[in-house]
Structures are given as C-alpha cells and as structure tokens.
Structure 1
Amino acid sequence: MKEENAKTTSKAINWSMKYLKKEQYGRSSFWRGPNPPLEDLEPHRQPGSEVELPPTPRSSSARTWVGLTRSLAPPPPNPDWLEEEIGPTSSPFLKGRSRAAFWSGRRRPNRAEEIRVGPRRAAPRPGAEVAGRAPPSGPAEPKMLASATPPLPGSQLPPASPFPLLLLAVLSGPASGRVPRSVPRTSLPISEADSYLTRFSVPQTYNYSVLLVDPASHTLYVGTRDTVFALSLPFSGERPRRIDWMVPEAHRQNCRKKGKKEDECHNFVQILAIANASHLLTCGTFAFDPKCGVIDVSSFQQVERLENGRGKCPFEPAQRSAAVMAGGVLYAATVKNYLGTEPIISRAVGRTEDWIRTETLPSWLNAPAFAAAMALSPAEWGDEDGDDEIYFFFTETSRAFDSYERIKVPRVARVCAGDLGGRKTLQHRWTTFLKADLLCPGPEHGRASSILQDVAILRPEHRSETPIFYGIFSSQWEGAAISAVCAFRPQDIRTVLNGPFRELKHDCNRGLPVMDNDVPQPRPGECITNNMKLQQFGSSLSLPDRVLTFIRDHPLMDRPVFPTDDHPLLVTTDTAYLRVVAHRVTSLSGKEYDVLYLGTEDGHLHRAVRIGAQLSVLEDLALFPEPQPVESMKLYQNWLLVGSRTEVTQVNTTNCGRLQSCSECILAQDPVCAWSFQLDACVAHAGEHGRLVQDIESADVSSLCPREPGEHPVVFEVPVATAAHVVLPCSPSSAWASCVWHQPGGVTALTPRRDGLEVVVTPGAMGAYACECQEGGAARVVAAYSLVWGSQRGPASQAHTVGAGLAGFVLGVLAASLTLLLIGRRQQRRRQRELLARDKVGLDLGAPPSGTTSYSQDPPSPSPEDERLPLALAKRGSGFGGFPPPFLLDPCPSPAHIRLTGAPLATCDETSI
C-alpha cells in the first residue's frame, strides 16, 4: 500500500496536463488520473486507510473465524506434492480434476462481502508490456506476510513462522448456474483508470450537467452554474474560453425573499443548442426567473439579447426538462409557472402568445417528469411524403388507476413540426399530439420498470437502416432496486400511434379502446402529408372541428409500445442506471454491434455490447474519487464525455492496450479491440485483417490464442483447529469465469460460495486445495491453499489442551467461592463491632452507663429529651419513614420505669402516649 501511495503522489506531481493560469478567466484545470492537480490535492484527500473496505453487507447472520496463516514460495514447475494431495490435474498447474465443488465466479457479490486474505496477483510476464498499457485489471487483493521456505514433496508441509490473520466472512448462499451478463465482467477501480481518464474542472464552479458537442468546430460547450465554457476536443490542456453569466444581486435578493436557499439563487444553465453556424442558444434558471439568450461562438464574450425563458427552461435545476433544436426551432418540454404545476410541451417561436403548445388538461400531461426529446426527419424514415416528427419521452401519473399511491407510467409523445394548431378548436394548441405507453417489463414483476430515466437515440450511418431508441427504466417502489434497458424502434411507435385510441371511463377507472366507427376522418393526430393536401387539408388550420375535438379528448393510445424482441436487453437488481448513450461499432469480421455506455447513480460507467437479444456488460469503470451521480454523457469520435456535479471527465473508448495477453483481448469481447500477433499486443483495429484475431460472439480463446505458460500461484498454508469454519477465497479476474475447487478425497463438509469455499475442519480435511477457473476454453489456477493443524498439533494434543483448560476453569471457580466466603464473614464481624460501639455511647437501654441510678418504682416526670428518644430509636428501624413496623412495637412491655441520670424517661401507659 505504501508503494501504491507513492505511485499516486508521483502521478500528482508529474501531471501530463499542467494547471492553467489564474488570470481573468479564473483557475481551470485539466489532469489525468483520479486526483485533482497538486494545489487541490489536500482539500480533496480522504482520511487515510490502507485498505478500502466494501460496504457493509445486509445479512442477518455472520460468522467470524480467527486463524493463523502463512504462505510458501511458489511451487516448482512440477508440483508433485500437490498432485499427491488432489490427484492429477488438467491445467498447467493442475493437470486433472478430482471430486470438486462447482460454482460461478463473481467479483462483486451483491448479498455478501468478505475481508479475506488470498493470493496476490502475479506480476506480468517479462517483456509483455507495450507503451501505453495499463496494469492488468482485477480486484486488489490484500497483502500477506510470506515466508520463503520452499515446499517439500509429500502431503505435510514444513513448519513456518505463523502470522495472525483475521478472516471475516459473511455467509451467502452458494452460487448456482451461470452468472448473468448484467454483472460486469471486469471492474476497474479509480486507481487503475488513470491512464485513460482526463478531467476538467474550475474551483468554485459546480453542476457540469449540460454538454453540447459541435463536431464541425471540434468544440465541447459546457453549461454550469453561472458559467458557460468552450473546450477544444479532445482535451489537450488548452485554456478554455468562458462566459460568466451571473445573476444580479437584486434578482438574488428577490429569490431569497421568496424563501429559496442561497445555493438555489444562481443561474443554472439548462439549455445549450446550436441555433445556426454562428450562434448558440442558451437558457438558464436565473434565480427562479428563467432567461434565454444567444452566444456568438466566434467572439464568445457574453450572452446577448436576453428574453423571458418561461416555457423553455425550468425554474430550478431539480425540475426534469427536455429540449431539442430542429430546423432552427426550439421544442421544449418543461413547466411554465413558478410552482411547477403547469407542464408544457411547446414550439417556442416568436411571441409567447403565438407558440404552439399542449392543452392544460390532465389527460394531456399529468405531473410529467421529462427525460429526453428527439427529432426525426422524413429522410431517416425513407418517406419523402412525411413531416419532421418530434418525440418526447417522459413519466407521468396514470389516471386509469385509483389507488392509495399514484401509479407512474412511462410514455412517449409525438408532435409534427408543421403543426399550426386549429382555427377555432385548439387554437395555438397541438393538433398532432399523441402519446402511448412504453412497456419495459421487469424480471418477474410485469410492468415493474415504471420510471423512465433517460433515452438515447442511435442514428446509423447507412440511410437504409432506421434509428433506434435505447431507454433506461427503474421501479417507482422503494425496495425494488430494478434497472432495465429496453430498445424501441420508431416504426413500432408509429404503428401504435396509428392504432386504436383509448377512452377513460370514469365509472370503472380504466381505459377502453374507441371503436373504429367512432373515429372521425381524416384520422385525428396525423401529420399533414401530400396525400392530405390533395384532400383539401393544406394545414392543420383546415381540419374539421369534430377531428380537433376528438384529438383534444383522446390523446392517449390504447396499445403500448413493446420493446424489440418483447423483452428487456438488460435487467439488474443491484445497479441504478441514470444515463445512456450508444453508438455502432464495426467488428473485425464486418458485423456491426451496438455499444452502450451506462452511467450509474454512484459515479460508475458500465460499457455493454449488444450480442444477439441481450446486453453483456463488459466493464465497470469508477469515474470519480467520491461517489456522485452521472448527470450527462456525450460521444465524440473515440471519446466519451461525462458531466457531473464537480467536473467533466473524458474517457478513452478505444484503450485496448490495457489488455496484455491474447486471452485477455479475446475474452474482453470488445468490437473495437483485436489481438495482433505481429505486434504481440491488443490494438484498436481499423478494419484491417493482417494477423489480427477477434471473437465477439463466443470468445473462444482455445482456438485463437496459443497456449500461454501457466502462472503458478502462491500456496498459502493455513493452520486450523478441529471443527473450525475456514473460508478459502477465490477471486478470478473475470466475474463470468466458471471455477472448480480441487480438494483432498477425505473432506466431506464443504459449502461452495460465490467468493470461495467454506470448509469445516476435520481430520480428513487436511491437505491441499486449489481453485481452478475457466473461461473461453482456457483454465488456470487462481488460488492454492494447504490446511495443516495449528502449530503442528494433532487432535490428541488438542484434546489434552482442552482437558487442561477445563481443569483450570474448575479450580478458578473454587478459588473464587472461597474468596467470597471470607469476604462475607469479614463484613459480618465488622457489622457486629459497629453495633457494640453504638451501645457504649448510651443507646443501650438494658445496661445504663456508670453514674446513673438504679431502677425506681416512683413515676418520674418526662423531659423533652426523653420524648425524642423513642423517635430516635425508631428511626434506626427499617419501617416506612424511619419508624419501625407496627408488628415490632409492644406498647407495654413492662410496667417498670426507665431512668437515665436519675430522671425517669417515660411511663408505659396510655396517658403518656
């Protein structure tokens, strides 16, 4: 860990991209790796600990085992001693298989985590590194103290100095079957991703949530809080241009008077769009008073021609909105009022009263949360008679269900760019607004994925292919952490929009389809085409009132839009996806594959490839030192740009050099990467076939790659005791690998787990254990252990130790009993001495002290001191309030008179009481 810290410090000093100067632009920074530049290193440094522990697993039971472990040097090329223990094995280290327990490897079990000791990753073979290569991926194993004593042939290993080791294991059920492809094959922590991550941030600037890529000028525009940046692509360390778009102090004071917080009374940029070749359109919240303006991209000095942004931009960044520029016109989906209770989808052209917008009816929009907006042209459809179509994706509250908690439904709405509204009915309102449900069923819950998080459009380069929508869905119910990815074809959406309408029946709280005979002609909601123009309907202004009235009352379609292949491409229950982008990659064979990049809620990036009818998550990449949501993503050539609250991160999508062997390159199943026998490296191919191999579908390593020399793992000797539970970890580099355990023939109490093997120690369990993992036809030993009796003591010696311990326990109990008895007697004697001392003071009535007279029969007169004496004596009792209990009081014990110093104390008769 010290070496790793030293390496991180070295990288912090030697930045490949220097910190920019302060000047009037402020300090901005480009850097590579997980850490900010050196000036900002200390404020962001976390409290140090040498090992980053996984999150506490939610499990009802846990076991802890304490044992002694020592490691031995790697075995010789022919480990006869291990073969004697487990029989012949098939891999270079194990040439056969004995009776074994099968399980599927998984690097990140979602139900249990374990702090354990396993073999350290072997160093890469000499001469295998190529310039630009990163270290091999995989889990960082904790270090162990090892002895250099070589193993000897035979079943018994030589003694070595034991080192205390704490094995903390949380029980989890044994893995069964194949690990789903929703589990990332490999996971790269932030420390291993520094070779292909470049970051940009400016101190005291936050919310890098709006990204706009201009491919023509190779520029990335970034909208943040109070600032708009322009950066050259790819990031090169060049000083960015910036525009400070601040809110005047008077506006901020007015915002605070409305009850808003100080951090909310800023200008959060929400829209960046290319208006034309020379100007950008931008909109911001402007302290809960939205404003819009234009930016001259050539000068890039200020936001000009400010105007009211209500209906285009939300009032606060927490409100979900979407906007798209089509044909130089802005189509926006947001809220129009300060309270956020009036949702609107509009074409914002000219004066506000001239906009074409949605009707203010809950049947049109009912508390929507907008996710995305897309524009499709007729050329992308292959239809020359069509009109430009704008699609809006959102989640809204369903009106068809009457329950305690409102039901959320994901939907898609479409409007036509040539819509001019109606002449009398639906004036300045959409006459082509239609919406339909999006169906992305969960694994076992039917329509469980009801919240639409994000939608990306993949536009193919060939005009013969149609675009495709990829959407991320989640569940609205707490406790059902489901994320699903579904693909939808635009032609399927159009088919549903041309189907039957739905009519809500208030008496039964459900929708019913409208009969075809009740639908007027021309069909409501259709775009104005050349065929309709021939029927004397030149625009929407010429549509009959019966058509406009029908579309006003029936905007919802009866049938839902089903995903391609009628099922999700990916379903996961332990990852919350928020953002998605997609592009199409051509493999070495010429076949095209869709590659998706999925941003998670905790700041991870999942790279998935669509193989057949499912998505396979190839890689899990940690993007940020501190967990934070991924807020936006854009693709530019071979780079992925990720926006978050604190920075913009540039990710290299073609970094194949980190795969250091032929087997790793083939098993990665990355359509971009191929193994070059000429360069002996994994390279990003450009379609050439010269001595390159690749297999995306099956990843058959055995037929494509030469047999690689096996790496012998370190064999760890584990001293154990009888009846102890021992967990032997096995962490393959790939979560998709299938692993098998080889163990001695006499062991019977075995429990296979996702993360290793649990052994109950018996005399027959002593010996060698090995975990062999296989993927793509290639197998290798990942971990090897040897169980021996602790301190070389057998069961007889241990039984003797247990007997001695019991005898010592009995003697200890006897000694404690005698001690307590002596203490009790001493306290009793002390109590008696105290009573005798009080009697000598004068409180003993049976023996008067010297100087007093003897008893007399004459009745004396009482004194005040004599009256108080019975009360003082009574307070020594244990009765309530200091008086003795009634059953101990004898009113007349004797007719005698008691005298003290010659005076009678009292007479025991009724008159004196």
Structure 2
Amino acid sequence: MVHSASLCACLSLLSVLSCHSHVLPRLSFPTGSPGRSLSIFTNPDVYNTTTLLLSNDEGTLFIGARDSVLSVDVSQTDAMTMKEKLDWSPSEKDLADCAMKGKMKMDCHNFVRVLQELNSTHMYACGTFAFSPRCIYINSKTFSMATGPSGKPEEGRGRCPYDPYQKNTAITVDGELYTGTVADYRGTRPVISRHLSEGSHIDLKLDDTLGWLEDPTFISSTYVPSEEKVYFFFSETGKEYDFIDKFTVSRVAQVCTSDVGGQRTLQKRWTTFAKAQLLCQAEQELPYNILQDIVSLSPPEGTSEDETLFYGIFTSQWQVNLGRSAVCAFSLKDIKKVFNGHYKVLNRDTLKWSTRVQEQMANPGECGLHNASDNTLRFVKDNFLADKSVRPANQGLTLVSPDKSYSNIAAQRVRGARGRDYTLLYLLTESGYLHKAVLLKNGVHIIEEIQVFHQPQPVKNLLLSVSKGAVLVGSSEGVISVPVSNCSYYWSCAECVLARDPFCGWDPVMKLCTDIHAHDHLVQDVDEGNVSVQCTYMTPRSRSVQSRTLSSEVVSVSLNEVVHLQCPGASHLAKRHWERLNSQLSPKIYIQSDDGGLSFVATPSTLGHYLCQSVENGYTQTLVAYNVKQKSSPTVPPATLNRPHSTPSTETGIKTPVLTTRPITPEQTEPTPKPDEVDPTVTPKDSPAATTRRSRNFTRLLGMEKEDSRMTEPGENLQQADTPSYFQELVVVSVLLALCISALLTIAFNRFRHLCPSKTVPQTPSSRRDVEKSGSATPQERESLRGNSPCLEKRNGQAPNGQSHNGQAHNGKSPITLSNSMLNSSNGHLPNTPI
C-alpha cells in the first residue's frame, strides 16, 4: 500500500510538471528589436539606479543611486530625461574608516536603499554610507537636502542595512517610517521597527530576546487602510520544523499602526506583532518555500477590501524544483482568517513549538492591546506564530515557470472590450527578460517577453506606472521604461485576436489593432482567442496574412542544388508545416528542420510553389510562399552533361529517367527550357499537356532535335511519348556489354594462339598478375597484358562500331553510352552513330 501511494504521488508529480511545461511566451523581443520600443535612462556618472519612487502625479521618477539621488522626467512615455541630481557621497575619512573595517572599496560607497515620500513637501532617504547608515530629508520642490529636527543627518541604524547587498523593506504611513532590516554591523539583529513617530506615538521595535524573527530576508511591506495594519513579507528559518535543519519558510507578519507599546510589559515594543506561514504548494508536490518578491493588487471597484490579492514569486530549496519559479496569490481574507485562528506556543525550556492547549486569554495580533494587563501581554508575547498556514487563494499555483527564475513582479487589473476585468502580471527573470502574462480561467497566457538587460543584474527594482502605461525597471545599467501595450505590432485581425492582450483590440473600420481605451466596438477575445468567430465578417485581406504572402518569392536554383527555404515564426505557440499544391511532402525527399526551414535537392519534380503555414489555436494562416525555378541560361555549352539518378517524387507521380553521358555537338544544342516548362505545378500532372512538356524537357536536355520533332502533341497517342522503363534500359545495356566482352575474349584468344603456335594448349589471360609472376611469359604476352598490344591499341582509339571518338576515350575505356530516347527511335542506327 505504501509503495502504491508513493507511485501515485510520483505519477501525479510528473503530470503536474508536464502540465506546467507548456507555459511559454507567445512572442520574444530581443534587445534592440524594432517590434518593441524601449526607453532607457543612463548617465556615465550614475551607477546602481535600483531604488525607485514615483511622484503622486507619476510624472517624475525619483531614483536612489550610488552616492546620489536623481530626479527624472517621465511624463513622456517614449523618453526619460534627468532634471536634477543631488550628490550624497561619503567623505574621504568615511571611506578610509570603511576600508579599515576590511570592506572592499567598491562596497564603501553610499547606496541609497530607502526613498520614501513623507508628505507633499519632503522625502526621506537612507543609505548605507560606507557601512555607517545615515538618513536625510529632501525638499521635493527645490530638490535639496533639508534640515531635520536634529539639524544634522540622522543615524540610519534600524532604518537601512549596513551592507548594500542586504535586502530590506520600508514604507511610510502618515509621515511615519515602518522598516524591516538589520540593526547591527554584522547583520545578525533583524528588526521590524517604526521611526519618525508623531503625536502620541512612540518609536517601536521587536524584542530582540524573544526570537520573534529567525534570520529573516525582508522582501516587501504594504499598508491596508481598512485594517490599520502594516503587513511585512519575508523568508526565514522555520524553527517549528525541528526535524529539518534550516528549513526555510515564507512569512507574512502584521503590526497595527495604532500600537504604542505596553505600559510595563513590552514597553517600546510591539504588542500587536504576529506572523504566519505562506504556503505556496500544489497537491503532492514539495512546497516553493523561498519568497523572492511580492506585490499587492487592490480589489475591483465596489468590492470589499478583503478581496485584495498578494501575488508572490517563490523558489524552492529542494533539488527537484531547482531552477523553477512559482507564482502564488494570497487573499487578504485568508490572511485575516489565519491571524484570527489558533496560535502555537513556544516552550522556553525545550525551545519546542506546540499547538496551544491552555485557555486563550487574548487574540494575538489584535489592535488595541497596549492597554491590556501584564498577563495578557505576556500571553501574546509567547504566542505570536499562527497555527495554520495561509494557502493560495485558488488552492493551487497561479503559474509555474519550468526553466525561468523570476526575481521581481508587478500586477495590475485591466478592463477588456467586453467589460470584464483581467489581471496582468509583469515578471522579471534573472536572465534579464520581462514576461507579460494574463491570468485566464483555464490557465496563464504569456503574451510576450522583452529582453531589458544585456547581462543579468543581481539587484533590480520593478515599478509600475499605471497612468503612464509603463513598467520601470531599475538596475546597475540604468532605468528602462517598457510600455505595457504594443498593439501596433499586430498587423491583422487574426494576430490581434491571437495575442489575447487585454489592452489591444481590432478596429474593423480602421483595419488596425489599437488600444482598447482609444476606441469602442473593438474585436477582442482574451479568454479563447477564437479567430474564426471574431474575424468572420472581415474581408479576406483583413482576416489573414494574404496581404503579406500573396506574392510568391522567386527562388532561382540549379538542378541538383540543395535548396533551403526559411519560414518566419508567427509565434512560439504556433506549429509550422510546409505544403505543395495537391501533393504531399515525402520525408524521403524533404527535410523539415526545428526552426521551420525546408531543405531538399532541386530536381525537375521538386521545382514549383511551396507554402509555409502555421496553426495556432485552431487557426491556419500562410506565413510565406516560394516559387522555386530553375536558373535560365541562353545556351548549353558543347560539353558532357552528367545527370545523376533521380529519386521518385510523390508530387508528380513520375520518375526522372537516368541520363547517361554522351557528347553534344554544337549543331544539337538548343536554348535551355524556361523554368515554367519544367514546373510540375503549372498543369495537372495527369494531363496530356503536362506529359508532353516533361518529355520535351528531357529530350531538349539530351539535344535530340529529331526526336523532339517526333514528340506527341496534345490529343495524340501518349504511349509513344512515355519514356522507357528502367528494366528495358538494363536489358539493353546488359546485352551490349555481353557482346563486347565476348568479342574481346575472342580477339584475345586468336591473338595469343597466333603468337604461340608451339603451345598445344592456349593460356587464358585471366590475370595480368599471374602471368607476370611466371617466368615463361614472353615479351609479347607481357605487352599484351599491359594493354600495349596492337589489338588493344586499335580498340582504344576506335568506338565499338568502328567510328572514331575524338581519338581518345575516358581513362582508356570504351565510351559505351546509351540514351533512353535513342533506344526508342526507329532510325535503325546504333548509339553514337551519326544519322
């Protein structure tokens, strides 16, 4: 029973993996591709532009870089220009002190890691500042440093990490700063704290001695106004799983913005801190337990804030899922339900976690506990880990990338042409590609991928500007703006519908694919992508790609030349195939490569028209058409034509006869037939005209004027025009060969008998080697065996029928050659005999 259960689990895992493997981007746009325009902001004096902040009107982008803070104009979607630059560099003494601590000079710069808007007039920035974090105020109007309450730059400990490679998160709520970072030089004291408190609020942090955090990696934070809570997302070591050493789990933690700490117990400490596990796991699979990035998506208008979704990217520490990424969605409703449930309790003596069995004195994580009794606060201090885990909203994985590791994510909701809302995800891979995916009822459709980085970047930031319609990506190379829509790229109704992009729809009046918000009554089918239904009333020119492929591209080739035909890919989801009119492409003749190309040898039967077609989502369209023709030349030079054996063709149903070698005199030459005369696709293959045209082509290649004049015209008996079969040729050649060999043996026997009259028994010249080895061979016999006898000399200089052959033959052999049409002639002469 155990073995069968394990086997079922393995089969289920394989089936899940196979289902995930088909999620591929439909289109790919490499860097510099003309089909996808990008805006890039770079400056030779600016480095590590990784911290991004948009102004309220989203017309200005503030960038936290290395040793500086920038103000960039992004009001135009196709350009980014720097407005101002604020220098914030460590002094030489600060750099020297950092080097004395054993740090590399490159890491001792000031890397801005916190950039938040405090109010309408000021921003707040914190940087690593040579491993001595500092924070400053920035006047948003003049873009200059402002004096804080202390009159000098503030210490950034607990607000910004020391190490520029240490991850952190920060968010401002009503002018107060909530951060998740480390509070010491070595990075061993993680802390979630509040700073810049105003009014009755005081700065708060976690109790370092309680083990509320276990070596966390902070990812993100968000504020939910209806709950008056700040949620922190991070990964840490799960101490509750004591049977696995250093098992990483993903967490969501909460604190209330109204918390002011306890009066005696938990003074200046959080009284509302609670955390729970985020479980991104499919059934019968190992969990994706390491959180990489997470973003919140507000609910649709008119719905409860409980419908807020959090989309997170997860990876796995297990070898079976190595190199894979998963996207899971968690709802605020499920998170609240887990925090309102039971909690685990930590035994301080054994450091073991167990489900709480004692009486519940309070609900951990509930706001307003700062006025509670000391017993209640001690209870919530020991009971901060929720017993249940938060599972995905749809009870499964939203997306699994089989071969891409995602690092950052952004999400937005878009209303389509039919009034339905769609969720779009923007996923940044570690290899530097941005994936644009739409979530559908039956799965995920990745619309496109855009390469934004030449080289993978270790630190990135992804920011979405909804009003400007752009995704902003920050890296060490600069900031790249990617438009969220690319409707003009789709040049037909079919392509516009197959893209399944909620931003794009086909305009039947203007005959173009345009933004869905610019026009009404556009054609769109995001859910199904059914072209035959959506584009039925369009003209053929609008519904297909005939406007591009109606005219065939002429390819001129020589016979026996290897032809390579290329087929452009319509999309990664389409399957390409080649076709010829009224014929099938035999795999014995044609080779179709993985990139869609077609290769074959040019013969009279393979000349003609070729169509490359693609099938996507049940719709077939022609991508390219070729007309393969034979190269035309004015005359055929008086030389020997060597034609190889042809291969039977499935397109024409005939075989090209074997053409043997014969000399062609200048009087017999004719102009090379035109390509259309050897094109088997011009007329039906079984018609008399087609048979006549093929026969004429063959006879013209052989230079038989007389035979050409005797060819059968349309309407006459076609039996005489048919070329002889291979069996007839074999019989004739075999008979002639036998006669020649008999004549040679007879002449040789008589010659040796005349030279050696004393011999009673003539010797048969079976082998030159045997005679030469014997000592009794006469000089005349040796000369005869070497081919120097008068008889052999006469044969080498004369054709078998007695006619001269230009005084020589090929390699000393008799040029006995035959032609199919010559064997079928009625003139009564032997081959090569002038008429």
TM-score, normalized by the shorter chain, greater than 0.5:
yes
CA distance in 1, matches of 2:600, 2:322: 36
Q: Report the Cα offset of residue 599 of structure 1.
A: 1.3
CA distance in 2, matches of 1:401, 1:411: 14
Q: Report the Cα offset of residue 469 of structure 1.
A: 0.9
Give 1:73's aligned residue: none
Q: Larger RCO: Structure 1 or Structure 2 (Cα < 8 Å, ≥ 6 residues apart)?
A: 1
1:660 match: secondary structure: coil
Match of 1:701 among 517, 524, 531: 531
Structure 2 vs 1, CA of residues 699 and 477 (structure 1 numbering), >3 Å: closer, same or farther? same
Structure 2 vs 1, CA of residues 348 and 509 (structure 1 numbering), >3 Å: closer, same or farther? closer
Percent identity (aligned): 34
Q: Report the Cα offset of residue 693 of structure 1.
A: 1.1
Give 1:499's aligned residue: 341
Give 1:284's aligned residue: 127
Give 2:178's aligned residue: 331
Whether 1:733 aligns to 2:570 is yes
CA distance in 1, matches of 2:314, 2:111: 26
Match of 2:388 among 551, 559, 564: 559
CA displacement, residues 294-352 of structure 1 (integer Å, 9 cap, x when unaligned)? 1111111225431111001011221010011112111000000000000000111359x
Q: Report the Cα offset of residue 523 of structure 1.
A: 2.0
Q: Report the Cα offset of residue 472 of structure 1.
A: 0.8
Whether 1:371 aligns to 2:196 is no
Matches within 5 A, 1:427-506: 427-441=267-281, 445-447=285-287, 449-460=288-299, 462-466=301-305, 467-477=308-318, 480-503=322-345
Q: Is the 8 A contact 1:593 1:671 kept in 2?
A: yes
Matches within 5 A, 1:93-242: 182-192=23-33, 196-216=37-57, 218-235=59-76, 236=79, 238-242=81-85
2:110 match: secondary structure: coil
Q: Report the Cα offset of residue 524 of structure 1.
A: 2.6
CA distance in 2, matches of 1:445, 1:731: 39
Q: Report the Cα offset of residue 700 of structure 1.
A: 1.4
Give 1:313's aligned residue: 160
Structure 2 vs 1, CA of residues 680 and 744 (structure 1 numbering), >3 Å: closer, same or farther? closer
Whether 1:616 aligns to 2:456 is no
CA displacement, residues 448-485 of structure 1 (integer Å, 9 cap, x when unaligned)? x1111111111246252432111111122467111111
Whether 1:358 aligns to 2:206 is yes
Match of 1:247 among 85, 90, 93: 90
CA distance in 2, matches of 1:254, 1:177: 55
RMSD over aligned Cα atoms? 3.9
Q: Report the Cα offset of residue 273 of structure 1.
A: 0.8
Match of 2:462 among 622, 625, 633: 633
CA distance in 1, matches of 2:613, 2:297: 41
When structure 1 is superposed on structure 2, of 552-561 and 262-271 the one drifting more is 552-561
Q: Which runs of 5+ in 2 are unaligned?
A: 1-16, 630-641, 648-657, 662-835
Letter in 1 for 2:168: S
TM-score by length of 1: 0.60
CA distance in 2, matches of 1:362, 1:781: 68
CA distance in 1, matches of 2:130, 2:28: 41
CA distance in 1, matches of 2:594, 2:19: 11
Q: Is the 8 A contact 2:251 2:275 kept in 1?
A: yes
Give 2:247's aligned residue: 407
CA distance in 2, matches of 1:239, 1:677: 41
Letter in 1 for 2:517: A
CA distance in 1, matches of 2:559, 2:45: 56
Give 1:165's aligned residue: none
Q: Report the Cα offset of residue 237 of structure 1.
A: 5.6
Structure 2 vs 1, CA of residues 290 and 509 (structure 1 numbering), >3 Å: closer, same or farther? closer
Structure 2 vs 1, CA of residues 767 and 653 (structure 1 numbering), >3 Å: closer, same or farther? same
Give 2:664's aligned residue: none
1:190 match: secondary structure: coil
Letter in 1 for 2:248: K
Structure 2 vs 1, CA of residues 586 and 181 (structure 1 numbering), >3 Å: closer, same or farther? farther
Q: Report the Cα offset of residue 747 of structure 1.
A: 4.3
CA displacement, residues 121-143 of structure 1 (integer Å, 9 cap, x when unaligned)? xxxxxxxxxxxxxxxxxxxxxxx
2:386 match: secondary structure: coil
1:470 match: secondary structure: strand
Q: Is the 8 A contact 1:579 1:630 kept in 2?
A: no
Structure 2 vs 1, CA of residues 664 and 745 (structure 1 numbering), >3 Å: closer, same or farther? closer
CA distance in 2, matches of 1:753, 1:550: 69
Q: Is the 8 A contact 2:576 2:596 kept in 1?
A: no
CA distance in 1, matches of 2:300, 2:585: 60
Q: Which runs of 5+ in 1 are unaligned?
A: 1-175, 379-386, 529-539, 801-913
Q: Report the Cα offset of residue 421 of structure 1.
A: 1.8
Alignment length (residue pairs): 599
Q: Is the 8 A contact 2:492 2:545 kept in 1?
A: no
Give 2:784's aligned residue: none
Structure 2 vs 1, CA of residues 329 and 770 (structure 1 numbering), >3 Å: closer, same or farther? same
2:266 match: secondary structure: coil
2:533 match: secondary structure: helix
CA distance in 1, matches of 2:18, 2:104: 52
Give 1:422's aligned residue: 262
Q: Is the 8 A contact 1:587 1:687 kept in 2?
A: no
1:693 match: secondary structure: coil
CA displacement, residues 470-516 of structure 1 (integer Å, 9 cap, x when unaligned)? 1111122467111111111111100011112124579999754323x
Structure 2 vs 1, CA of residues 720 and 758 (structure 1 numbering), >3 Å: closer, same or farther? farther
Structure 2 vs 1, CA of residues 416 and 354 (structure 1 numbering), >3 Å: closer, same or farther? closer
CA distance in 2, matches of 1:783, 1:525: 64
Q: Report the Cα offset of residue 673 of structure 1.
A: 1.1
CA distance in 1, matches of 2:592, 2:245: 43
CA distance in 2, matches of 1:195, 1:787: 34
Q: Report the Cα offset of residue 293 of structure 1.
A: 1.3
Whether 1:268 aligns to 2:97 is no
Structure 2 vs 1, CA of residues 748 and 485 (structure 1 numbering), >3 Å: closer, same or farther? same
Q: Is the 8 A contact 2:364 2:380 kept in 1?
A: yes
Structure 2 vs 1, CA of residues 361 and 735 (structure 1 numbering), >3 Å: closer, same or farther? farther
CA distance in 2, matches of 1:257, 1:224: 24
CA distance in 2, matches of 1:749, 1:360: 76
Q: Report the Cα offset of residue 717 of structure 1.
A: 9.9
Match of 1:669 among 491, 500, 512: 500
Q: Is the 8 A contact 1:270 1:283 kept in 2?
A: yes
Q: Report the Cα offset of residue 411 of structure 1.
A: 0.9
Letter in 2 for 1:616: H
1:192 match: secondary structure: coil
CA distance in 1, matches of 2:322, 2:554: 42
TM-score by length of 2: 0.65
Q: Is the 8 A contact 1:642 1:649 kept in 2?
A: yes
Give 2:701's aligned residue: none
Q: Is the 8 A contact 2:181 2:192 kept in 1?
A: yes
CA distance in 1, matches of 2:568, 2:347: 58
Whether 1:606 aligns to 2:606 is no
Letter in 2 for 1:736: L
Q: Is the 8 A contact 1:391 1:415 kept in 2?
A: yes
CA distance in 1, matches of 2:592, 2:347: 56
CA displacement, residues 184-231 of structure 1 (integer Å, 9 cap, x when unaligned)? 010011122586311112113211111111123722111000111112
